[in-house]
Every structure is written in C-alpha cells, then in structure tokens.
Amino acid sequence: MIIDSHQHFWRYDRRRYDWITDEMEVLRRDFLPADLLSEYQASGVDGSIAVQADQSERETRFLLELAEQNDFIKGVVGWVDLRDANLPLKLAYFAQFKKLCGFRHIVQSEPDDDFLLREDFLRGVGYLQDFDFTYDILIYPKQLSAAIKFVEQKPDHKFVVDHLAKPFIKDRMVSPWREQMQELARHENVYCKVSGMVTEADWQTWQAEDFKPYLDVIFEAFGSERVMFGSDWPVCLVAASYEQVKNLITDYLEEFSESQRANIMGLNAARFYDLQV
C-alpha cells in the first residue's frame, strides 16, 4: 500500500493563491482529483492525504467535499483559525467528518519567527488534541528553533514536519538545519515528511544526488518508522514530474528492507493519520 502523505487540490484563483508567483506559471490552473488519479494509476499509488493550500475554512470544506466524492483521498489536513476564541465549537463541528485528520497553519509565511510559541496559538493547538486531530508543522529553517520549543510543550501531541522544514538544498547548506532536525527528532511524537524537496533545489538543474545528504539526515534522525513519503503535487511540477518525485524516494530506499519501505511509503502515514484503509 502506497499512500502519498502530502498533496494539494485547488480551483485556481489569483487572489486566494497569491503565493503562486510568475515563475510558477505551470500551477496557474485548476488541479482536481481526476488529474491526480491518472498520476496514481501510472505510478501505483493507492491513496493520498489532501492538505490545505489556502488559509480558510472554505478550503477545509472544499477538500472534505472532494474526499467524500473520491475514495482514493484517504484523509484531509485542513485549516481553521487556531487562535479563534470559538475554536472548541468549530473543532466539535469538524469532528463529524471522518476523513478530517488534522490541521495546518502556514507558519512559514508568518513574519514572527516565534509564531508557534504565541500563547493563543499554543492554546489552540492544545484543543486539537482533545479531538484527536494531528498538526502539520510547515516552517522554514529559520523557524526550527521555535519548533523545537513548540513540540517540547506538547509531548503527547502528534506532529509531522512538512517538507523536511525546507532546507537550503539549492545552496547545498546542511548546517545548522541538520543539528536542529536531529534535536527535533528526539521527540518521539514528531514525524517528518520527505516531500517538497525538488522545489528547494535548483528547478532546472537538480540531480538525484543533491538530495542524499538531506535524506541521510532525516532517516538517521527519525528512523524508518517516523518518516512518510509525500509528493507535494502539484507544487512539485515547477521542478519535476510526479514520477520523478516518487522515484527520488523509491530509488533512495532500494537498500532498505521490505518492511522499512512499506512503512515509509504508506504504513507510517496510515498510522499517523489513523486512516481507514
């Protein structure tokens, strides 16, 4: 069973998806389940986790509707304002949707590098645990210091770091990202998605070996039971095809055992998100 732990859908709107810049022109169109299903059928992928790309409850409902209509969408990571005073009521409402696994905030875009440590945000994340919702950590390396303190305060919550925390692959910089990821991995409630790598590399000239130092760090730190494959489709298309992204991981895993590969390519995501598969 192969589960893509990280992909997106959208009906393109320039205002809602203003993070799609001119150099990402390939992304300026609709990306819907039929587009992804053809990729999965060609690559032998069984299902996915659809992750929010716009910070609105409308986005969460949109993904849930798609999940209801498409069996291969096994789970949804949505968005809700975690600082909202009425958050418990909103979470109680969202708890009725069986495919809703958790939530994410686009912390990487927050000007405050310590955003994760804000009192109102910490309080909101605490409510997620009451409803068994996971939390995806989307950050840049400059926010890793805050992320370490963040997870220290929530030792029983299920966290997963998206996109390896976006290391500087294009610049071939490994430290201090390496040491901070190692520290983050010491918390056994924290997982990591090997996703979004090609967009952090040189989009035109990347080679498979560019990613090995970063993958080495992640697997040495998190092991094979807390790492999950994710494509970051369709964002990955700015630099690579779906097949290329998947092959980067499967080729790297060639010397891993069959059980380790099964965990990384699907079982870890199924367990983390408590998927009904």
Determine the Cα–Cα distance for residues 266 and 60; give it in Å rounded to an integer.
Answer: 23
Amino acid sitting at position 73: I
pLDDT tens digit sequence for 185-235: 999 999 999 999 999 999 999 999 999 999 999 999 999 999 999 999 999
Is the peptide bond prior to 176 cis by the omega test (within 30 degrees of 0)? yes
φ, ψ of residue 179 to 5 degrees: the values are: -65, -35
Provide the strand spans (E) within the chain: 3-7, 47-51, 73-78, 100-105, 134-137, 159-161, 190-194, 227-229
Determine the Cα–Cα distance for residues 81 and 71; give it in Å rounded to an integer.
Answer: 28
> Residues 61-88: what's their mean pLDDT?
98
> Residues 227-256: what's their mean pLDDT?
98
Strand 190-194, strand 227-229: pairing: parallel
Amino acid sitting at position 70: N
Percent over 90 (pLDDT), the chain: 97
Amino acid sitting at position 148: I
pLDDT at 175 over 80: yes
Output the pLDDT for position 277: 77
Q: What is the mean pLDDT of the chain?
A: 97
Structure tokens of 172?
A: 């071939």
Output the pLDDT for position 144: 98
pLDDT tens digit sequence for 253-268: 999 999 999 999 999 9
Structure tokens of 59?
A: 């986005």
Q: Which H/E stretch holds residue 237?
A: none
For the chain, the residue count is 277
Distance, CA of 152 to chain centre = 20
Determine the Cα–Cα distance for residues 81 and 127; give it in Å rounded to an integer.
Answer: 12
pLDDT at 17 over 90: no
pLDDT tens digit sequence for 93-125: 999 999 999 999 999 999 999 999 999 999 999
Contact 204, 242 (CB under 8 A): no
At 174, the pLDDT band (50, 70, 90 cuts) reads: very high
> Residues 37-43: what's their mean pLDDT?
96
Residue 167 exposure: Cα atoms within 13 Å on the Cβ side:
26
Determine the Cα–Cα distance for residues 160 and 119; give it in Å rounded to an integer.
Answer: 21
At 276, the pLDDT band (50, 70, 90 cuts) reads: confident
Q: Which H/E stretch holds residue 38?
A: helix 33-43
